[in-house]
């Protein structure tokens, strides 16, 4: 716990820039070796206080609509470099599309219908904008249905059966996004399906966007295989390749620090923390997965076992069971590992509980509290 200071009020997320740079360096290695361009998917990681670091490596962002695109424009841009803002939405709204056209370099449509509706209009507003269609390769080995964009009845992307060759005169690229926390072999399977279904269109494109879900920065990921896949693909078709990972950027770059508020007993020892699985670590319930806690073991593995619960009134607001060598005490810090991706971007003020602060540990060791939240963040979302 050496780098966790007791001075900052819990709960807080702490992103370590040294760890973030390590990820970015690996991603940059992939860019340089493969010739692909990598952009950040804001959906998974949007701590914009780190963007001055992130933009040293990545050429831009992919956004899921107007608000993320605005954030990319405002916070990722840098005077002396061309920033790429790619925007993809499952469906665009009439009142958003003009502004999206003004601030995006690429606009990706989900269906031929939306593309036909808006192609002319966005080109009139911004003649430099490049249009693309997201297709559904109908091949994914995504581990969970909730995270499988190619699952049965998926609304995400156009299947071959729904592809309309009329789109070809408007688009310069095709996108797919079919992976979730997966290795390069899964990409190979998706690419094979993509080429089988849409191969005849690829040569007419300027770029193909391979989406996100590439778990590049996870230990053991087959980086060399990814590089080879991209190089072979670029050589075969003469197109640019984009990757747009979110999770791989924020992967293992920091923690959620919380505190034990009380310990109660009901068949077992239960520690109530000043954070929440429901509000602050939602994927632990949705995925679901068990977040690692620093210094802990599985239930029963070490001498003292506790169930960790959140400080909301939701019965199921439970992080899991953890064991420790020493008994926990009220006031102890509890540190959840790897809580920087898909956490604060999904936070809610459910039950009025305080949002965790956002903290960066700079590379010189300084801790900077970027933002603290309070009552008004709760009130202003209600009326």
Ligand X SMILES: *Cc1c(COP(=O)(O)O)cnc(C)c1O
Site for ligand X (CB under 6 A): which residue of 247, 274, 278, 317?
247
Residue in this structure with the two tokens 């993320």, named with its chain if needed: 68
Site for ligand X (CB under 6 A): which residue of 16, 23, 38, 43?
43
CB of 20 within 8 A of CB of 365? no
Q: Which residues pair with 260 in a beta bridge?
A: 273
Determine if 246 is a binding residue for ligand X (CB under 6 A).
Answer: yes
CA distance 22 to 217: 9
Query: Minimal distance in Å, beta carbon 250 to ligand X?
Result: 8
Determine if 212 is a binding residue for ligand X (CB under 6 A).
Answer: yes
Query: Minimal distance in Å, beta carbon 248 to ligand X?
Result: 6
Query: Minimal distance in Å, beta carbon 43 to ligand X?
Result: 5
- Which residues, 338 to 367, sit near ligand X by CB under 6 A? none
Nearer to ligand X, 75 or 247 (CB): 247
Nearer to ligand X, 88 or 322 (CB): 88
CB of 303 within 8 A of CB of 325? yes
| Per-position DSSP letters for 255-296, written without gaps between them | EEEEEEEEEEESSSEEEEESS-HHHH-THHHHS--PPPBTT-
CA distance 252 to 339: 7
Query: Minimal distance in Å, beta carbon 88 to ligand X?
Result: 5
Site for ligand X (CB under 6 A): which residue of 19, 30, 41, 260?
41
Query: Minimal distance in Å, beta carbon 253 to ligand X?
Result: 13
Determine if 68 is a binding residue for ligand X (CB under 6 A).
Answer: no
Residue in this structure with the two tokens 């470099």, named with its chain if needed: 81
- Which residues, 73 to 112, sit near ligand X by CB under 6 A? 88
CA distance 103 to 122: 11
Site for ligand X (CB under 6 A): which residue of 11, 44, 112, 310?
44
Question: Residue 112: in which H helix or E strand, if any?
Answer: helix 112-125
Query: Minimal distance in Å, beta carbon 52 to ligand X?
Result: 21
SS3 224: helix
Give ∠ CA 17-251-256 in degrees, rounded to 5: 75
- Among the listed ranges 11-19, 241-249, 293-301, 304-312, the one in contact with ligand X (CB under 6 A) is 241-249
Which tokens is 193 given? 């399906």
- Among the listed ranges 52-60, 136-144, 243-251, 254-262, the one in contact with ligand X (CB under 6 A) is 243-251
3-state helix, strand, coil in the chain (%, to 5): 35, 25, 45
Residue in this structure with the two tokens 């191969």, named with its chain if needed: 199
Site for ligand X (CB under 6 A): which residue of 180, 208, 241, 257?
180
SS3 371: strand
Determine if 60 is a binding residue for ligand X (CB under 6 A).
Answer: no
Nearer to ligand X, 246 or 254 (CB): 246
Of 381, 330, 180, 347, nearest to 256 by C-alpha is 347
Q: Which residue is nearest to ligand X (CB)?
A: 212
Determine if 137 is a binding residue for ligand X (CB under 6 A).
Answer: no
Determine if 62 is a binding residue for ligand X (CB under 6 A).
Answer: yes
Determine if 282 is a binding residue for ligand X (CB under 6 A).
Answer: no
CA distance 344 to 338: 12
- Among the listed ranges 10-18, 39-47, 219-227, 309-317, the one in contact with ligand X (CB under 6 A) is 39-47
CB of 253 within 8 A of CB of 20? yes
Q: By CB under 6 A, how many residues form the interface with ligand X?
A: 15
Q: Which residues bind ligand X (CB under 6 A)?
A: 41, 43-44, 62, 88, 177, 180, 211-213, 244-248
């Amino acid at each position: 716990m050496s780098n966790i200071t007791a001075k900052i009020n819990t709960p807080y997320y702490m992103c370590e820039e040294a760890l973030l740079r390590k990820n970015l360096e690996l991603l940059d290695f992939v860019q340089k070796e493969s010739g692909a361009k990598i952009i950040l998917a804001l959906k998974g990681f949007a701590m914009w206080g780190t963007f001055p670091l992130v933009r040293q490596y990545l050429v831009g962002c992919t956004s899921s609509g107007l608000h993320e695109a605005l954030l990319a424009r405002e916070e990722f841009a840098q005077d002396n470099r061309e920033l790429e803002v790619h925007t993809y939405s499952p469906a665009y709204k009439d009142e958003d599309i003009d502004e999206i056209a003004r601030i995006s370099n690429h606009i990706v449509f989900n269906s031929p219908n939306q593309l036909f509706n808006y192609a002319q209009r966005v080109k009139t507003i911004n003649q430099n904008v490049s249009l693309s269609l997201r297709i559904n390769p109908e091949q994914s080995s995504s581990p969970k249905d909730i995270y499988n964009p190619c699952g049965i009845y998926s609304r995400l992307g156009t299947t071959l059966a729904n592809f309309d060759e009329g789109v070809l005169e408007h688009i310069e690229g095709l996108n797919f996004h079919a992976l979730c926390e997966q290795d390069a072999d899964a990409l190979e399977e998706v690419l094979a399906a993509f080429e089988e279904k849409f191969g005849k269109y690829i040569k007419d494109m300027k770029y193909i966007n391979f989406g996100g879900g590439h778990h590049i920065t996870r230990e053991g990921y087959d980086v060399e295989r990814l590089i080879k896949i991209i190089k072979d693909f670029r050589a075969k078709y003469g197109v640019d390749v984009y990757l747009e990972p979110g999770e791989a950027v924020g992967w293992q770059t920091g923690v959620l620090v919380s505190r034990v508020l009380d310990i109660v007993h009901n068949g077992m020892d239960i520690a109530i923390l000043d954070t929440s699985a429901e509000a602050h670590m939602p994927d632990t319930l949705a995925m679901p997965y068990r977040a690692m806690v620093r210094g802990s073991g599985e239930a029963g593995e070490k001498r003292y076992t506790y169930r960790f619960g959140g400080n909301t009134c939701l019965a199921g607001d439970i992080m899991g069971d953890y064991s420790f060598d020493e008994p926990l005490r009220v006031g102890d810090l509890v540190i959840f590992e790897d809580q920087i991706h898909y956490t604060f971007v999904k936070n809610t003020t459910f039950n009025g509980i305080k949002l965790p602060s956002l903290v960066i540990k700079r590379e010189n060791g300084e801790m900077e509290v970027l933002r603290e939240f309070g009552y008004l963040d709760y009130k202003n979302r209600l009326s």
